[in-house]
Amino acid sequence: MAVFLSPVGGVAAQFFTNTGAVLTGGKLYTYLAGTTTPVVTYTTNAGTVARTNPVVLDSAGRVPGSGEIWLTTVSYKFILRDSNDVLIATYDNISGIGALTVQNYTGDGTTVGFAVSGNVVNVYINGVYQNRNTYSFASGTLTFTQAPPLNSLIEILYN
């Protein structure tokens, strides 16, 4: 299975509280992007040993063991909490480094369907993330519920 280095906590990252103290015992939860559905991460680039969810940070505020977090090809949401489960930060729509390809189109105000040569992961129009209720994807075609505006930049991220 292909796995990709996480940009959140990837290698030897150190986490801190909002006041700048080392986040000893902090918790890094991983979910499918935009949801509260837990999703697995891995300890190495082999993608064979799953990490616990949440990842509990060590006394230095780092990911224990290898210090690495590896992701599959899905998009993730990371939630960082302190040891008492107080929310510190949320990072959504995160993909592993090198996991995605981008296909760009320009909106003409009338076209709703676009050919995509992979599995759609995220869609942006003029840099704004599109919720999955604004489009569908089937048989290699991404179809919007309404045509993107004239001259809009449509970015389709896929794997």
Q: What is the pLDDT of residues 80-98, one digit of tens each?
A: 999 999 999 999 989 888 7
pLDDT value of residue 86:
96
Which among 98, 113, 147 is the end of a domain?
98
Asked if residue 116 and residue 86 are part of one domain, the reply reads no
Beta strands 101-106 and 153-158, pairing class: antiparallel
User: In total, how many domains does the chain have?
Assistant: 2
Asked if residue 11 and residue 84 are part of one domain, the reply reads yes
Six token digits for residue 72 = 């599959």
Using CA atoms, how far residue 80 sits from 23, 53, 126, in Å, is 10, 12, 28
Which among 73, 98, 123 is the end of a domain?
98
Asked if residue 135 and residue 58 are part of one domain, the reply reads no
pLDDT value of residue 99:
66
Asked if residue 105 and residue 93 are part of one domain, the reply reads no
Asked if residue 84 and residue 130 are part of one domain, the reply reads no
Asked if residue 84 and residue 39 are part of one domain, the reply reads yes
| pLDDT tens per residue across span 46-76 | 999 999 999 999 999 999 998 999 999 888 9
Q: Can you tell me the distance from the alpha carbon of 155 to that of 130, in angstroms, rounded to the nearest whole number? A: 10
Where do runs of H (alpha helix) occur along 36-146? none
Asked if residue 149 and residue 124 are part of one domain, the reply reads yes
Write phi, then psi, for 52 (nearest 5 degrees): -70, 155
Six token digits for residue 60 = 């230095």
Q: Can you tell me the distance from the alpha carbon of 31 to that of 35, in angstroms, rounded to the nearest whole number? A: 6
Range of the domain at 143: 101-158
Using CA atoms, how far residue 158 sits from 5, 46, 58, 87, 120, in Å, is 17, 22, 34, 30, 4
Rounded to two decimals, what is the model's pTM? 0.67
CA-based angle 96:158:142, to the nearest 5?
A: 150
Cis before 148 (ω within 30) = no
CATH number for the domain harbouring residue 77: 2.170.14.10
